[in-house]
Copies of this chain bind each other. A is one copy, B any other.
Amino acid sequence: MDQVKVIEIKKSVFEDNDKDANNLRKELKDRGVFLLNLMSSPGSGKTTTLISTLNLLKDKLKIAVMEADIDSDVDAVKIKEATGIQTIQLHTGGMCHLDAEMTRQGLDNVSLEGTDLVILENVGNLVCPAEFDTGSCKNAMILSVPEGHDKPLKYPLMFSICDVVIVNKIDVLPYFDFDLEKCKEYVRMRNPKAQVIPICAKTGEGVDVFANWLLEQVKNWKQQ
């Protein structure tokens, strides 16, 4: 099994997270590094989505992954083994989210030289991660079909801060009462600008649409 670097994240001491997040974003801009914050419920398929996406992008961009979990290194090892991409594990020690300072602790352990894209896989939680700006350039979230199309009604903040909503596990649509059109309508209620991308991370269906979206964001970030 590949060795993955494990970072034990310390609680932040900064009081003004928004200011700290803006500073981090500016630093990333200066270095030409795009940071994506990827959020979702537990078990929505973040890791599988990441692996499919990374395999489509790894020849086009230099990428690093920071995998945040309360405990366990299972996903970080899986990502490194399946993609060969630089992956580090962030242990939050029970904490339910990452803020900008915690994200910075991770970035300090990534070799950023020449890196185009860093993906932060946030803690599996639809509530707290939405409340803390990580300093990311864009926010993405995954909603999986079995969770139901009503989630934008119940977790408004999460959907309102995300630039893209990936609807995963569309292969099991026939077995669940999930209405994709209603889902899109509810997402628009929370955030009219958010893009909705249906995918099946397991089979790869639709993952190219997300990969192209991400490629476009990285290019824009570097050119702006």
Partner-B contacts on A (CB < 8 A): 41-44, 69-72, 74, 94, 96, 123-128, 131, 144-148, 150-151, 153-157, 169, 171-172, 175-176
Using A43-B147, A146-B169 as known contacts, list a sample of 14 further A-B pairs with CB atoms less than 8 Å apart, ordered by residue number in A.
A41-B41, A41-B124, A42-B147, A43-B151, A69-B154, A70-B156, A71-B155, A74-B150, A94-B131, A96-B96, A96-B127, A124-B154, A144-B146, A171-B175
- Closest-by-CB residue of B relative to A153 is B72
**Residues of the B chain whose Cβ atoms lie less than 8 Å from the Cβ of A144:** 43, 146
The answer, among B42, B131, B154, B156, for a CB contact under 8 Å with A126, is: B42
Minimum C-beta distance from A150 to chain B (A): 6
B123 and A127 contact, CB distance less than 8 A: yes
**Residues of the B chain whose Cβ atoms lie less than 8 Å from the Cβ of A156:** 70-71
Kindly state the separation between the CA atoms of A76 and B144 in the bound complex, as whole angstroms: 23
B153 and A71 contact, CB distance less than 8 A: yes
**Residues of the B chain whose Cβ atoms lie less than 8 Å from the Cβ of A148:** 43
Minimum C-beta distance from A49 to chain B (A): 14
Minimum C-beta distance from A96 to chain B (A): 4
Kindly state the separation between the CA atoms of A156 and B44 in the bound complex, as whole angstroms: 18
A72 and B125 contact, CB distance less than 8 A: no
**Residues of the B chain whose Cβ atoms lie less than 8 Å from the Cβ of A145:** 146
User: Which 4 residue pairs spanning A and B have beta carbons closest together?
Assistant: A43-B147, A146-B146, A96-B127, A72-B153
